[in-house]
Structure 1
Amino acid sequence: MNPLARWWHSLALAEERDPFTAATWEQAWKSLPLLAGLDASESARLRRLALGFLRQKTLEPAQGLALTDPIRLMIALQAGLPVLQLGLDWYGGWYSVIVYPDAFIPEHQVMGDDGVVWVDRTVKAGESWERGPIILSWADIHQDLELDGHNVIIHELAHKLDGRSGSTNGSPPLHRGMSGALWKRTFAQAYEDLCHRADAGEHTPIDPYATQSPAEFFAVVSEAFFEVPSLLIGEYPDVYGQLKAFYRQDPLRRLAGCVEGVNRSRR
């Protein structure tokens, strides 16, 4: 092997090195029911994606949070799931994940319809900045480990995928063979239906936070797609079909037999 080939070989080996113990992997994996049903090939791919995510993104603790190896791995595994069949290139263009110990209160200047500027101090479990980091609450991550349709990591990363189209509007860039017109019609009809039901005071299985905007609808139904697929397909089967084509996954098949919890609104 010539020197250049040896260098590339050593680089590839270094990239594949696993800094986590077998016990840490087992602890992280067993804590995440949404990974149930992954076959051996998918599990190996997710493992590589999680390690790649941690190489490409800097996880930054805030307010004194201790980012232990199990926490880092649990975040990375959940981050890898949406791009299991897409690849980490879909997470390009941003470089850090900020993790708070609990819900946080960012301050944003907002201009109302009357032109008056005010400061929004809404308590949040997560946030995604355009061309910037995602911000997460570890308390919410830890609380949402069950299959209940609420997953702040998937929610914020869905915004990142959505934004790859150039605008975070609920319409991510679609794969060849997918119809943009069908996507927009399917999501618009479901979004309008959910808004009408929420406005009428109906308790909806889909988190009503989805009615905030088409972008939030996409993020919320992405959470449901991965965590409570039977609930989503029962409410909006065409939306499930579009997400199945986009993510190139079928959680309904994968999670068959798993107990899905009741979706709840906590935002």
Structure 2
Amino acid sequence: MQAWVWSTAITTLIAAAMLYPGWNLRRALKRPMPLEFRAILRRNIPIYSRMAPPLQQQLHKLVQQFLHQKKFVGCEGQHVDDEVRVTIAGLACLLLLNRPSKVYPGLHAVLVYPTAFLVPRKHVDEAGVVTETRQDLLGESWGDGRVVLSWDHVRRGAQDWTDGQNVVLHEFAHQLDSESGSNNGAPYLGSQESYRSWSQVLSRHFEDLRADAMFHHQSVLDHYGASSPAEFFAVATETFFEKPWQLSERHPALFDEFAKYYRVDPREWQDAPAPEPYVEPGYGQWR
């Protein structure tokens, strides 16, 4: 009789988990984040220890939801352990702090390679000739619910938090961009006025970056952002989180738009850099 009761209870729990995935998620989020996961965040995300405790707690819950909902797949021999999963989830969820957003609802899986990976590319020229090539990539956000990352470059980007290069922030910015329905550099902003301001500011700075790239002028933003509005948004996201003081000084209007969107001020997590010596424009320095 007792065995039958236990069997019925277990069956009921399994059925509830299958029918009500939100119930299963709520149970997972009620558990505190394991201490070893917090140690990984401290070790691999330098700004984590400088964040206010309420933000750390937010990040814990977001990471737990990410780990509960998303599948990690190791490719070409990459072993996926807690170090890999928590580091990637922690970096990705920095973009969601203070925002009433679901945790990347369109994302299903994260594919992790040991290092840069090759992907096939097709190029069609003006004459209609198709050329097939293979391109080395550090990361890519796919429209079918997958993000692909090089673990080697995930670690490099996380360890140096001042170079403006972070493959996880970049690719997950693309995921946010796609939530508006297309990858065009304008994520879901919520109001017509927000879109108007966003379009005016980002269009102007995008054209400035294109000019910087064309004339080989140095910029706080990586020139790769000049390739398209979608890449500009992703590059500017990396810069906002990793070089916030420089971005706010050189491009205050752009910084303000990203601060309104991401609802955090990463300057609070970093010391202000020493001022750079002034150099006359025209020598490949700041304009």
TM-score normalised to structure 1 length: 0.87
User: Hey, what's the Cα distance between the residues in 1 that align with 2:56 and 2:44?
Assistant: 15
Deviations 1:228-260 (A, max 9, x none): 1012112221111111111111112x2242769
Q: Which residue of 1 aligns with 2:183?
A: 168
Work out the CA distance in 2 between the residues paired with 1:122 and 1:158. Answer: 21
Distance 1:114 1:235 in 2: 43
Contact 2:245–2:272 (CA under 8 A) maintained in structure 1: no
Partner of 1:186: 201
Which of residues 246, 257, 265 is equivalent to 2:261?
A: 246
Q: Judging changes above 3 Å, is the alpha-carbon distance between structure 1 residues 95 and 102 closer, same or farther for their aligned structure 2 residues?
A: same
**In 2, distance between residues paired with 1:27 and 1:119?**
41
Mark the runs of 5 or more structure 2 residues left unpaired by the alignment.
1-8, 275-287
Q: Which has the higher contact order (CA 8 A, sep 6+)?
A: 1
Question: Which position in structure 1 is the counterpart of 2:134?
Answer: 121
Whole-angstrom distance in 2 between the partners of 1:46 and 1:204: 31
State the alpha-carbon separation in 2 of the partners of residues 177 and 40 from structure 1.
Answer: 34
CA pair 149-36 structure 1, distance change in 2 beyond 3 A: farther
Change (3 A) 1:256 1:177: farther
Conserved? CA contact 1:53–1:76, under 8 Å: yes
Q: Is the 8 Å Cα contact of residues 141 and 152 (structure 1) preserved in structure 2?
A: yes
Residue 61 in 1 paired to residue 74 in 2?
yes
- The answer to whether the aligner puts 1:209 opposite 2:224 as a matched pair is yes
Alignment partner, residue 27 of structure 2: 13
Match of 1:231 among 227, 233, 246: 246
Stretches of 4+ moved more than 4 A in 1? none
Distance 1:220 1:82 in 2: 13
Per the alignment, in what secondary structure is the counterpart of residue 131 of structure 1?
coil
Q: Which runs of 5+ in 1 are unaligned?
A: 261-267
Q: Whole-Å Cα distance in 1 between the matches of residues 141 and 273 of structure 2?
A: 30
> Quick check: which one's helix share is greater?
2
Deviation string 1:42-83 (CA, Å, 9 cap, x unpaired) is: 101100100100111101110111112122111111111101
Question: Residue 31 of structure 1: CA displacement?
Answer: 2.1
Give the whole-Å Cα distance in 1 for the aligned partners of 2:216 and 2:246: 19
Q: 1:195 aligns with which of 210, 222, 225?
A: 210
**1:37 to partner: Cα distance:** 2.8
C-alpha contact (below 8 Å) 1:97/1:135 kept by paired residues: yes
Which letter does structure 1 place at the counterpart of 2:198?
W
Query: Residue 127 and residue 197 in structure 1: after superposition, are their counterparts in 2 closer, same or farther (change >3 A)?
Result: same
Q: Secondary structure at the match of 2:95?
A: coil
Q: Is this contact kept in 2: 1:105–1:123, CA < 8 A? A: yes
Corresponding residue of 2:5: none
1:45 corresponds to: 58
- Residues 129-176 of structure 1, C-alpha deviations (whole Å, 9 max, x = no match): 113200000000111121121111110010011111111010111034
2:82 and 2:103 map into 1 onto residues whose CA distance is 24
Alignment of 1:8-157 (within 5 A): 11=24, 12-17=26-31, 21-87=34-100, 89=102, 91-145=104-158, 146-147=160-161, 148-157=163-172
User: Cα RMSD (Å) of the superposition?
Assistant: 2.6
TM-score by length of 2: 0.81
Partners of 2:127 and 2:179 lie apart in 1 by: 31
Distance 1:97 1:125 in 2: 13
From 238, 249, 269, the equivalent of 1:255 is 269
- The match for 2:283 is none
How many residues in Structure 1 have an aligned counterpart in Structure 2?
256
- Aligned-residue offset at 1:36: 4.2
**Does the CA contact (< 8 Å) of 2:121 and 2:135 recur in 1?**
no
Q: CA deviation at 1:95?
A: 0.3
The 1:34/1:177 distance shift into structure 2, 3 A limit, reads farther
